[in-house]
Every structure is written in structure tokens, then in C-alpha cells.
Amino acid sequence: MFLTKEEEKALDGEYGPGLQLAMRILVKLGDLFGAERLLPVRSAHVSGISYKTAGDAAIGFLEDLCEMGARASVLATTNPCGFDERLSGLLELPDHIVSAQKKLLALYEHLGLKMTLTCIPYYQFRPERGSHLAWAESSAVVYANSVMGAFTNREGAPSALAAAIAGRTPDYGLHRPENRQPGLLADFSFRPRDEVELWAAGFYVGQVARDAVPLLRGLKGLSDWELKGLGAAMASGGMTAMFTLEGPTEGLEKVEVGREEAASVLEKLSTAEEPDLVFLGCPHCSREELALLVEHLRGREVKRPFWICTSRHIRASCPELVKAIEASGALVVVDTCVVVSWVEKLGVDVVATNSPKAAYYLPGLSGVRVRLANMRECVELACSKGSG
């Protein structure tokens, strides 16, 4: 790989061992994928913030980096962690978990990362169209590439952190225009009846597209939050890091996406009925979703635990929506989500959610079963008593 003089010096350790380690990670990655150079990035988004998913190995690695004097050199945002500190009375966690999570957060903060603690950092720090980024968190990656026109690969936690420190990423994959061309035509032959059916169809596309960029034909007039959830579903169904809604279709392999394909995904992911907890906000809710939810909740009273997860930034930017939602008895939770937190410790066996991504990960991560239901149905479930 070609390196500039400055990059050579950084790799040789002239600017300290922290930057040297970050450069080593990036150069190794670049060599692996045949990159010819490193590109400067505008921002990095780092995953592996929740102690639940990162574990003790991450703490050791971060301690080493801090000792080596590493610091983020570009805007670096963070994915959700394992709890919302404001809810410590509700989500009572063993002391060792709380202290490990706090330690992880302190280490990331010491490295200069911003405590955004969300999977939707783009509503707070909007990347410019055409800018190069190094983002982990697959749902944010798809959104950045497909909706915002930024350029990022689907980074892992260590490579996103290394990019945050070095301010660079190897030039391969979706950083190169030739790799952003569609490689599969996903022909939507039906009009999804709600977000759950749309996102389940997206999950199916993710499964069949593998690492190709799918061109989704037949989907018109989707709102921002529907696109956000669609990308998240595709990324959890497979390796999708970008989709497109238009472009030439000649020569593309074609797959039909109909109600049956969506139903087959729903059948696999939705395996339960009565929820102990209702959850919206995977990915974290935008303002638009909170406003919709206020409409659904108007005059209603919540009778089961109902978590609406979003970012600190969104919560702080629309206090009137938050107030209206919480007046019903629902909780607007920040910094975490039901997937990366320890809901099993609340005695939860079944979660209702509108997110196929959450439905895909929750059984493995928390041993809970999931009922997929759209936002309106989730509100109905939250406002009904249940038979148990």
C-alpha cells in the first residue's frame, strides 16, 4: 500500500505507540482487501460500547490504547451502551456489570470519543454527501451510504476505533465508486401493508443479496424512518452495506420480492404472542417516529412496560413529544436499546417490537422470544393488560 511520508512516520511510531497501533490495524486491513492507499475520513462511528456485547476483552484493549496515549483525531461517535443511567431504579443490574459498563464508557471518553450512545448519530452530526467515513453499526452504515450519499464500509469495532485515532481508512470497497453500482435487482411486486412487512421484505433482500448492492425497484414514497428501518433490516439479514432505489437495471440478476418472502421471514422471526415488554426504536427513533407515536398514544394509558429508545440528542430536541409519550406511562429511553441491554434480568421472556433486526438478535443475545407487530399494534399491546 502506498503511504504518505506522514503516514510512514506514524506507522514507524514517531507519533507515539497509540497512533502506531491504529495505523498497523488499518494497514493490515488495507493489505487484506487490496487497498492502494489510505483515505482521510470525516468521522468514525464506533460500536462495541455495550459491555454486554463487548465484554472484558474490550476493556483490556482500550486500557492499553489509553496507556499508549491514543486519542481520536476526527469526530468519533459512539453506539448505544448497556443502560440508561436515569433508569437505574428500573433496570437493576449487578454491581460488577454496572462498574464494567462505566469503565468502558470512561475509557472511550478518555480516547476522545463523543458520548452520543446511539445508532443514529447522523441526526446530530450529519455527514456531507460524498464524504468518506469509517462507521461501524451496520444500520448506520446502510443509512449513510444509501440515504445520505456518504462513503463508508461496514467497519468492525476495532477498525472504526483505529480510524477514529488515525483519521484514515483503507481505500477499498464502498469508498470506490465502481463498487457502489447495483449488483442485484430486487423487484418489489407488492405494496407492503406496514413497516413490519416492508422491513421483513428488506431482511429477505439482505439474505439473498449477500455483499451486492441491491437496487430496490417498486418502492416509492418511503419516509425517512421507513428507509432507516429498511436498511437496518437488510443489514441484519445479510451483509448489505448499501442499497439504491434507482438506476439502470439491464444485465442485473433479478429476484422477486413479494408478500410470501416477507411472510417467510416473519414466520421465522416472530415466534411469540403475549409480550412482557414492548419496544420501539431499533434503530433508535427519529423525531418523526416520536411524533407518530404521540398520535397513536393520544388519550391512551400504557399498562405494560413500553420502552421507546432514542438518542439523547433527539430526546433533548423535542421535549414536548417526550412529555406527551411519557404522560401515557411509556418510557423514552436513551443511551441503550433492548437488544444491547440486559432485559432478561428484568424477567422478560417475550418482547414485542416492530423491528426485524431486534427480532433477529434478541433470542441469541438475551434468550427472549419476539412478537413482531407494527407501531400501532405495539401501542395496542402496550395499552392492553394481557392474559398473564
Query: Which residue do the cell numbers 468521522 mark?
Result: 43
* Candidate segments 2-10, 34-42, 181-189, 278-286, binder of ligand F3S by CB under 6 A: 278-286
Interface with ligand F3S includes 357 (CB under 6 A)? yes
CA-closest candidate to residue 201, choices 219, 183, 174, 180: 219
Nearer to ligand F3S, 25 or 241 (CB): 241
Nearer to ligand F3S, 51 or 172 (CB): 51
Size of the site for ligand F3S (CB under 6 A): 15
Query: Which residue do the cell numbers 474490550 mark?
Result: 58
Nearer to ligand F3S, 185 or 338 (CB): 338
Query: Which residue do the cell numbers 437493576 mark?
Result: 92
Nearer to ligand F3S, 26 or 358 (CB): 358
**Tally: H helices and E strands in the chain:** 14, 13
CA-closest candidate to residue 338, choices 301, 375, 363, 313: 363
Interface with ligand F3S includes 139 (CB under 6 A)? yes
Nearer to ligand F3S, 49 or 166 (CB): 49
CB 358 within 8 A of CB 351: yes
Nearer to ligand F3S, 114 or 284 (CB): 284
Q: Closest approach of Cβ 47 to ligand F3S, in Å?
A: 8
Q: What is the pattern of x (binds ligand F3S, CB under 6 A) and - over residues 291-330?
A: ------------------x---------------------
CB 142 within 8 A of CB 136: no
Q: What is the pattern of x (binds ligand F3S, CB under 6 A) and - over residues 213-232?
A: -------------------x
CB 186 within 8 A of CB 204: no
Tell me which residues in 166-185 interact with ligand F3S (CB under 6 A): none
Nearer to ligand F3S, 328 or 366 (CB): 366
Q: Closest approach of Cβ 337 to ligand F3S, in Å?
A: 3
Interface with ligand F3S includes 282 (CB under 6 A)? yes
CA-closest candidate to residue 223, choices 284, 286, 280, 265: 286
Among 91, 119, 242, 383, binds ligand F3S (CB under 6 A): 119
Tell me 1's DSSP state: -
* Candidate segments 192-200, 290-298, 334-342, 379-387, binder of ligand F3S by CB under 6 A: 334-342
Nearer to ligand F3S, 206 or 281 (CB): 281
**282 by DSSP, 3-state: which?**
strand
224-237 vs 195-209: helix crossing angle, rounded to 10: 40
How far is it, in rounded angstroms, from Cα 110 to Cα 63? 10
**40 by DSSP, 3-state: which?**
strand
Among 18, 30, 48, 80, binds ligand F3S (CB under 6 A): 80
CA-closest candidate to residue 58, choices 16, 20, 25, 105: 105
CA-closest candidate to residue 119, choices 276, 258, 310, 289: 310
Backbone φ and ψ for 38, nearest 5 degrees, come out as: -100, 150
* Candidate segments 213-221, 282-290, 326-334, 346-354, binder of ligand F3S by CB under 6 A: 282-290
Nearer to ligand F3S, 65 or 282 (CB): 282
Nearer to ligand F3S, 43 or 310 (CB): 310
Among 114, 132, 217, 284, binds ligand F3S (CB under 6 A): 284
User: What residues have CB less than 8 Å from 251, skipping those under 6 apart?
Assistant: none
Number of neighbours of residue 131 by Cβ within 10 angstroms: 17
Q: What is the pattern of x (binds ligand F3S, CB under 6 A) and - over residues 231-250?
A: -x------------------
**187 by DSSP, 3-state: which?**
strand
Tell me which residues in 337-356 interact with ligand F3S (CB under 6 A): 337, 339-340
Q: Closest approach of Cβ 355 to ligand F3S, in Å?
A: 6
CB 224 within 8 A of CB 147: yes
Interface with ligand F3S includes 79 (CB under 6 A)? yes
Backbone φ and ψ for 334, nearest 5 degrees, come out as: -120, 170
Interface ranges with ligand F3S (CB under 6 A) = 79-80, 119, 139, 232, 281-284, 309, 337, 339-340, 357-358
